A and B are shown apart, each in its own frame.
Chain A
Amino acid sequence: MKRFLVFLVLILTFVVSAYAFKVIMVTDTGGLGDKSFNDGTWAGIQMAVEEFGLEANVIQSYEQADYIPNLTKAAQEADVVFAVGFMMTDALFKVAPQFPGTYFVGIDITPPEGSEYPNVMTFTFKENEAAFLVGYVAAAMTKSNIVGFIGGIPIPPVERFRYGFEAGVKTYSELHDKDVQILKGYTMVFDDPKKGKDLAMSQFAEGADIIFHASGACGNGVIEAAKEKFTALAGTSDLAGLIDYYWKNGTGLFAMGVDADQDYLAPGAVLASAMKRVDMAAYYGVRDAFEGTFEGGMKVLGLKEKGVGISPMKYTKGLVPNSVIAELYYIINLVNEGILSIPITQEELDSFSVPEIEFPF
């Protein structure tokens, strides 16, 4: 009897593990630990894993040439395969048609023209809308009237962050008669914090006091630079000390985070983050596959869908004047109602003119 029970349990575990719904996420070369994009997706998958009791695994890629082999292997083993990051677009659409029985979710991926498959769902984000908000805050908060932008490789999502940021800065400047200048630079990679730090240091040296980054793991260096500079200025690195210094002297040096809520990386020295809710997208992807409501095609998440936004500024909210926060919420409403549209291309940015916004307060 006992032996029979053991046997039964063994069979059961075997059956369960063989049929367990399995999710495998393949990262781009940035990999886990970027504290933004890959980590955000992984967090979303974890959310779904806990809710539905699934199995999940993550595979990191060394180089571009690994994408196809890794996705292929993942597709052979899993029910849902995640391809994370823009760089994997071509590989995803080469592998996915080979496995019509496997669901593929592409995060931050736009399908190339003519490649729509029922088993591939991709998410992109209106980065410009999130960046507009942080741009607006940056312009409101800068004391030197110089803000910085640091991008990774100038690929479309990074550029959309820049368009939105520039438009946000411009909007605040015109509404409040402030002349704010923007320094721009690119690290040309996504995985080298040292490059981000060097670039941030040089922008601080040129007089910027707030730097927004959209550069993946390079941004860890940007944030480190802001923390170092602000700490040196204030003579302390703890949150209370930094805030005290700001109130006493009216200046500070800040970074602005991207993709995830990066405010916690250096409390006090990260003013706000332009968030892409990759975690929500990842969660939706797994959920739809698991519940059988999976729909192929591209989904674009913006402010309205709560797919992007500005971080709650957990540490720095006290520094930002209430009027700015109120204006921010008013603007979010205008975007949601379709009254204000935020430039999403270089042409739109060039022809962007600040609308007459009358704040009701």
Chain B
Amino acid sequence: MKKRIMKINLSAFIVPVMSVIIALLIASVVILLIGKNPLIAYYEMLKGAFGSSQDFINTIVKTTPLILTGLAVGFGFRAGVFNIGAEGQMSMGALFATIAGMNLGGFPPYIAIPITILSGMLMGALWASIAGFLKARTGAHEVITTIMLNWISYYLGNYMVAGPLSVGSGTPKSPEIAASAKLPVIIKSQSIELTPGIFIAILMAIVIYVLLEKTSTGYEIKAVGFNPYAAEYGGISIAKNVVLAMAISGALAGLAGALEVMGLHYRYLGTLTSGKGFDGISISLIGQNHPIGIIFAALLIGSLRTGSNAMQFAGIPKHIVMIIQGIVIFLVAADRIVKTILTYRKKHKAGVEK
């Protein structure tokens, strides 16, 4: 029995890793086709993501929100809801964290920071539970409703920075949040800054892991995800758990937005989310919906992104990284392909040995 569990864990780990390797191989063909050397490209990418302390900070900064949106989507998957709305929930979280952060100037950091974080999470949770409520009450599919809510939050955010919250000239933006609501900078190198946001993100991954695996609430949420009717037969309320699952998922996405405001931009910008909510979908796929796997998947995508910026300095277009990311997701989603390759090789080897 124990051996079986080990095996499952191993394959959950091998499929994403193999997918990345295959994706790098396929992308290197593309790089060759545009007349560049793939080895140099990957070297530059690696150097760009981890080569210096500044690069490393950039990678961590990029990874932080991705862990959280990955968790948001992954948690939803475990509960049987497909939350495509992480983008909108993140945006709403950022917006309300900004509004809270702007007005907390009179409070010391140990009050201002938690309140700002909580308002971001709360707004994300509220925004997502609209979709959860609609699903529980009317059966409206959360894929549709969360997409709709994405657009509402998108235009609401744009309206806020162009209208009521607008300040100064330049990019449409809100005023800065109060100094006491900013996350403290722990490492600063020129204009590149690292805040403890990453620790909050990792902590959340652990919290979600414990919640899912060690508590009865998590058990109920998973049960509804596996088989809602069986769960209901067993005395678990579908409606309650769907709303709860969406709320927790949204709170995670909202936290991603709040941390972006408190640790990076210090204000709300209309374009602040820039697809990170959608990246959460691929990250939870690559991380096999496992909170700890999601941390590594987010690090993968975060370092690819950071590395791709540096890759451009060697004259290689950043879009190569989109190709790599696309192939990885394709292979992880169609994990049978990778598994077939692996088992074929095993069989083949066994045959030779005989």
Chain A residues near B (Cβ < 8 Å): 24, 29, 57-66, 68-74, 77, 86-87, 89-91, 94-95, 98, 110, 112, 153-156, 188-189
- Nearest-Cβ distance from residue A345 to partner chain B, whole angstroms: 11
Any A CB within 8 A of the CB of B351: no
Q: Which one of A64, A72, A153 contacts B191 once the chains associate, using CB atoms below 8 Å?
A: A72
Any A CB within 8 A of the CB of B53: no
**Residues on B with beta carbons closer than 8 Å to the beta carbon of A60:** 312, 318
* 15 interchain pairs, CB-CB under 8 A: A59-B309, A62-B305, A64-B269, A65-B260, A72-B191, A73-B310, A74-B313, A77-B313, A90-B171, A94-B191, A153-B172, A153-B270, A154-B172, A155-B169, A188-B270
**Residues on A with beta carbons closer than 8 Å to the beta carbon of B313:** 24, 57, 59, 73-74, 77
Any A CB within 8 A of the CB of B240: no
In the bound complex, CA of A86 to CA of B170 (Å) = 6
Residue of B54, B58, B315 with highest tally of chain A CB at under 10 A: B58
Any A CB within 8 A of the CB of B111: no
Q: Which one of A59, A98, A110 contacts B170 once the chains associate, using CB atoms below 8 Å?
A: A110
In the bound complex, CA of A156 to CA of B313 (Å) = 31
Residue of B54, B170, B270 with highest tally of chain A CB at under 10 A: B170
**Residues on A with beta carbons closer than 8 Å to the beta carbon of B216:** none
**Residues on B with beta carbons closer than 8 Å to the beta carbon of A57:** 312-313, 315
**Residues on A with beta carbons closer than 8 Å to the beta carbon of B345:** none
Any A CB within 8 A of the CB of B62: yes
Which 9 interchain pairs have the tightest Cβ spacing?
A: A63-B274, A89-B170, A98-B190, A69-B58, A94-B191, A59-B312, A87-B171, A95-B191, A188-B158
- Nearest-Cβ distance from residue A218 to partner chain B, whole angstroms: 14
**Residues on A with beta carbons closer than 8 Å to the beta carbon of B269:** 64
Chain B residues near A (Cβ < 8 Å): 54, 58, 61-62, 155, 158, 162, 168-172, 190-192, 260, 264-265, 269-272, 274-275, 305-306, 308-310, 312-313, 315, 318
**Residues on A with beta carbons closer than 8 Å to the beta carbon of B155:** 188
**CB distance A110 to B169 under 8 Å?**
yes
Residue of A with least CB distance to B322: A62
> How many residue pairs at the A-B interface have CB separations less than 8 Å?
86
In the bound complex, CA of A72 to CA of B192 (Å) = 8
- Nearest-Cβ distance from residue A246 to partner chain B, whole angstroms: 38
- Nearest-Cβ distance from residue A126 to partner chain B, whole angstroms: 16
- Nearest-Cβ distance from residue A269 to partner chain B, whole angstroms: 30
- Nearest-Cβ distance from residue B187 to partner chain A, whole angstroms: 14
Q: Which one of A58, A64, A89 contacts B265 once the chains associate, using CB atoms below 8 Å?
A: A64
**CB distance A68 to B318 under 8 Å?**
no
Residue of A with least CB distance to B315: A57
**Residues on B with beta carbons closer than 8 Å to the beta carbon of A69:** 54, 58, 192, 306, 309
Residue of A with least CB distance to B170: A89
**Residues on A with beta carbons closer than 8 Å to the beta carbon of B171:** 64, 86-87, 89-90, 155
**CB distance A65 to B61 under 8 Å?**
yes
**CB distance A62 to B274 under 8 Å?**
yes
**Residues on A with beta carbons closer than 8 Å to the beta carbon of B305:** 62
In the bound complex, CA of A71 to CA of B54 (Å) = 12
In the bound complex, CA of A112 to CA of B167 (Å) = 12
- Nearest-Cβ distance from residue A185 to partner chain B, whole angstroms: 14
**CB distance B190 to A72 under 8 Å?**
yes
Residue of B with least CB distance to A87: B171
**CB distance A64 to B271 under 8 Å?**
yes
- Nearest-Cβ distance from residue A109 to partner chain B, whole angstroms: 8
Q: Which one of B61, B274, B309 contacts A70 once the chains associate, using CB atoms below 8 Å?
A: B309
Residue of A with least CB distance to B59: A69
- Nearest-Cβ distance from residue A238 to partner chain B, whole angstroms: 33
**CB distance A65 to B62 under 8 Å?**
yes
**Residues on B with beta carbons closer than 8 Å to the beta carbon of A110:** 169-170
In the bound complex, CA of A171 to CA of B80 (Å) = 62
**Residues on A with beta carbons closer than 8 Å to the beta carbon of B191:** 68, 71-72, 91, 94-95, 98
Q: Which one of A29, A77, A112 contacts B168 once the chains associate, using CB atoms below 8 Å?
A: A112
Residue of A with least CB distance to B267: A90
In the bound complex, CA of A62 to CA of B320 (Å) = 13
**CB distance A155 to B172 under 8 Å?**
yes
In the bound complex, CA of A80 to CA of B274 (Å) = 28
Residue of B with least CB distance to A190: B271
Given known A-B contacts A94-B191, A110-B170, A62 and B271 have beta carbons under 8 A apart: no
Residue of A with least CB distance to B318: A60
**Residues on A with beta carbons closer than 8 Å to the beta carbon of B190:** 72, 95, 98
**Residues on A with beta carbons closer than 8 Å to the beta carbon of B272:** 64
- Nearest-Cβ distance from residue A207 to partner chain B, whole angstroms: 26
**CB distance B318 to A62 under 8 Å?**
yes
- Nearest-Cβ distance from residue A264 to partner chain B, whole angstroms: 24
Q: Which one of A59, A63, A89, A156 contacts B271 once the chains associate, using CB atoms below 8 Å?
A: A63
List 9 additional contacts besides A64-B265, A86-B170, A86-B171; criterion CB under 8 Å: A62-B309, A63-B275, A65-B61, A65-B265, A71-B191, A73-B313, A153-B172, A154-B172, A156-B169
Q: Which one of A62, A65, A71 contacts B264 once the chains associate, using CB atoms below 8 Å?
A: A65
Residue of A with least CB distance to B58: A69
Residue of B62, B271, B315 with highest tally of chain A CB at under 10 A: B271
**Residues on A with beta carbons closer than 8 Å to the beta carbon of B275:** 63
- Nearest-Cβ distance from residue A122 to partner chain B, whole angstroms: 12
